[in-house]
Structure 1
C-alpha cells in the first residue's frame, strides 16, 4: 500500500508500506476510500528534525471494512466507516457505525498504533473497533 511519510521539515514522501493485518481481536482492517490532511498532520511540517525512518502521516479517513477481528461485534466486512480526528466520542450515539481513530481505551491510528498502521495509506489497521 502507499502512505505519506514525513522525514523532516518540508520533506514528505509517498512510499510503499506493509499491508495492514489483524493483530488484536479488536482490530479492523479498513480500505481507505477518501482521506484528508488534518492540521495536526502539518504541525511538524516546518519544524520536524530530519529523521532516517520518517513518520507516517494521517488519521482521518472514510473507508470500507475489509476484515474485522474476532471480538469486533459492531462492524462487518463491507460496512462504510468514518475515522475522524484523534479525539472523538466512542461509541458515537449520533453515528453508531463510526470507526473512530481513538477510542475511549486510548488506542488509535493517530498516536498509539504502530507507525506502519497510520490511516492515510490505501488501508489501515484500526485498533479497538468493536463499538
Structure 2
C-alpha cells in the first residue's frame, strides 16, 4: 500500500509500505479514503518537531473497515469510520472520562504501533 512518510525537514515522500494486517484480536484494518495533514505534521515538516525517519503522517482519516479481529464488536467490515489523531482502548478510566488522548493503552497513528506505558 502507499503511505505518506516524513524523513526530515521538508522531506515528505509517498512510498510503498507493507499492507496493514490484523495482528491482535482487537485490531481493525481500515482502507483509508481521505487523510488530513494537521498541525503536528506541519511542525515536523517545518523542523520544529522531530519524527522518526520514515514515520507516516496524515493521521486523521476517513475510511472503510476492511478487516476486524475476533474481539472487535463495535465495527464491521464495510463500515465507514472516522479516526481522530489518537487510538485508545475506550475502556480505561481516561477514556470513560472522555480523555482518550491520555489512554495508557493507546497511542498516536503513525508511531509504528508503539504503546505508552
TM-score w.r.t. the length of structure 1 is 0.66
Contact map agreement 1:9 1:50 (CA 8 A) in 2:
no
- Higher share of residues assigned helix: 2
Equivalent positions of 1:76-115 (< 5 A) are 76-86=76-86, 90=90, 104-110=103-109, 112-114=111-113
Cα distance in 1 for residues equivalent to 2:17 and 2:101: 22
Cα distance in 2 for residues equivalent to 1:49 and 1:80: 32
- Aligned pair count? 106
- Higher share of residues assigned strand: 2
Higher relative contact order (CA 8 A, sep 6+): 1
Q: What is residue 75 of structure 2 aligned with on the other side?
A: 75
Unaligned runs of 5+ in 1: 92-100, 116-131
Cα distance in 1 for residues equivalent to 2:35 and 2:51: 25
CA drift at 1:50? 9.3
CA drift at 1:105? 4.6
Unaligned runs of 5+ in 2: 92-99
Mapped pair 1:36 → 2:36? yes
| RMSD of equivalent CA atoms | 3.2
Segments of 4+ moved more than 4 angstroms: 48-51
